[in-house]
A and B are shown apart, each in its own frame.
Chain A
């Protein structure tokens, strides 16, 4: 092949002809080619994780609510901590293993493969409060809270949304006034998941009513046992009597000023740093888990309709697309992890993936009913892998930013369309 790369059009490239770039390319074959290989150390880590999970994943069913669920989730977290598996990617100084995101990803993959429980109660503590405190907290805040979170001693909840401020979070009004070395909080929060089971809360309050709306908010650690806090349970649509979240009322609740995380009135910036986290890497374990759910459905559909029917049936066509889409979610997760491993924070790809994934979950949960058929009308007492999760999936496009808000963000911040 000619090395000239001489173009009759006179157009010149920044590099000249194939041999130049081909040689250049082949020199660095060993560096960072696109690949799906894991190093021998990574594979050893995987084997170790798999063995440990095999021996330790709780066999009993996770209680769906209340104190039973709290005890279950905390015990499971403690077991992981004792085994050295809590906080794989947490810095060592906070009790983690200080391993990279690749190892975290491997851990999640093995976690999903082992069918380990989704200990949701710990999500806010591990994935919101802890990274926020690591980034913005004082030494005292770090020393007190981080180990307790990691060891499964405490549960956290998130007090962001208010009755009049959901999507428009920045306009929140729950008021806090400085009184000596305390803040005095009055107002209310709503949709606070598991507030009735939590020891601590990450609470956003308005500490300056005059400043522009994003400049008068503070991020505060609130002890849920402080006098003046009252809860109103709110039942959700999944099943009769299912208590998931709460309205929380604050009546002259006194919180030490030393519980403010980050500077006073900078709470918006502090909060956004962890929302970014939630929308980026925190949901990896779920994203990787979902192809397992799809395969379960494929298996059920094969049994009910017959393998060959699936190659013609409308349900088969939908399942095929869901297989492809859940493979793609994993690919997106890998690509975000690769970016993060290279030191780039989760950016636009993360918001694209979150918006896609929340709707994909709904499609997957929805098809379960068609696979099950008429019996989908029955609500199993216990062991309900399909009906409650189906109903629950309606919250996927509401919680943590509705899919409309996600699209606004994509349109404005990713594509640069005007507000």
Chain B
């Protein structure tokens, strides 16, 4: 039993963290003075692909590196910290689905050459003759493929299967949103190991959310050490200090459960779904709470678009609804048997 990353895993994390802080600093998401926003991350994909990060968990035959869920989760935590476009979920989950279904697109996806958006249902899905439902498409403007995140797990579809596309402004304004519909659409991917894909989707959302919760904590603590009122830095006031302590606790809880779940998922244990579900529950809770508290610790500046506090909160809401929000995830948790 061992739950600390190896030196090599630390090296992977350091490498992706350095890459992102150079090429995707969070400030890239600041709107310019016209409020013009968008997602600038598409240019990262080929570079991340070349460095091997997009295919971390894929077999070498599929163009991947041959590592597993542990490394994917560690790297997704960094994606969360840096608010990397949610397309990263489409790419990573899509590559796994393509590889498992022997679609020859897998190696092109992990090379960063094929754009893969995501679709999240806006209500019930019927799956009698293929999938039918209304969706929010995310980061799908130039997507060739779409990963549909259903409560039963992700499926891969061609973007062309979606009809009635309609622009839709997003609350998380850096996350490009459309509405669209599927009618009796057949996934490209097989559903052979849908529980494994479902566990992976939950785990990666949790890892991303745990990164959000840590980034919001770090931002609040940095500000609390610097901002002065009443002749002291605000972090010396217990009302602020204790808020920061609570954020630290939430981030640690999330991070430990993500680590634990990542091992369980990597080893494909029978309790993988349970622990991945638990990870999503604690990590999204941490991301939402820390996102909110970070704004409060900043005062009015936290309410502006001139700092990044709001983007962590909004992204936490986006990650919450992916594949089923906390309310639905809790219901799913109660439908599961506790691990032996």
Contacts and interface: CB of A to CB of B under 8 A. Distances in A.
Contacts of B164: none
A338 B1 contact: yes
Contact of B277 (A5, A9, A324): A324
A102 B333 contact: no
Contact of B334 (A35, A311, A414): A311
A164 interface: no
A17 B47 CA distance: 11
A34 B9 contact: yes
Given A22-B65, A316-B331, A338 B4 contact: yes
B281 A320 contact: yes
A407 B252 contact: no
Nearest to A310: B334
B262 A415 contact: no
Interface in A34-65: 34-38, 42
Contact of B248 (A4, A327, A352): A352
Contact of A1 (B50, B224, B278, B331): B50
Given A316-B334, A407-B242, A349 B252 contact: yes
A2 B6 contact: no
A311 B331 contact: yes
A180 interface: no
Interface string B185-228: 00000000000000000000000000000000000010011000
B1 A334 contact: yes
Given A32-B2, A38-B1, A418-B233, A317 B8 contact: no
Contact of A415 (B53, B248, B253, B254): B248
A26 to B, nearest CB: 7
Interface string B271-283: 0001101110110
A17 B52 contact: yes
B267 interface: yes
B115 to A, nearest CB: 19
Given A1-B63, A9-B22, A316 B5 contact: no
A31 B244 CA distance: 37
Contacts of A102: 1
Nearest to B218: A415
A78 to B, nearest CB: 30
A342 interface: yes
Given A1-B63, A295-B338, A33 B331 contact: no
Interface of A is mostly: helix
Contacts, number: 232
Contact of A34 (B3, B12, B253, B282): B3
A319 B334 CA distance: 8
Given A328-B282, A338-B1, A21 B260 contact: no
Contact of A32 (B6, B224, B233, B262): B6
B249 interface: yes
Interface string A166-195: 000000000000000000000000000000
A165 B242 CA distance: 22
Contacts of A19: 52
Query: Contact size class for A?
Result: 35 or more
B262 A34 contact: yes
A416 interface: yes
A9 B260 contact: no
A42 B6 CA distance: 22
Given A32-B2, A36-B263, A320-B330, A415 B278 contact: no
B111 to A, nearest CB: 7
Contacts of A331: 3, 256-257, 259-261
Given A338-B1, A339-B4, A418-B236, A327 B50 contact: no
Contacts of A196: none
A407 B50 contact: no
A325 interface: yes
B260 A410 contact: no
Contact of B22 (A11, A24, A32, A320): A11
Contact of B281 (A4, A324, A407, A408): A324
Shortest 9 CB-CB contacts between residues of A and residues of B: A18-B52, A331-B260, A320-B330, A324-B281, A411-B241, A417-B235, A324-B278, A320-B333, A407-B245
15 contacts: A9-B22, A18-B50, A21-B11, A21-B15, A37-B1, A295-B338, A311-B334, A327-B260, A327-B278, A335-B3, A338-B1, A338-B2, A356-B249, A407-B238, A418-B236
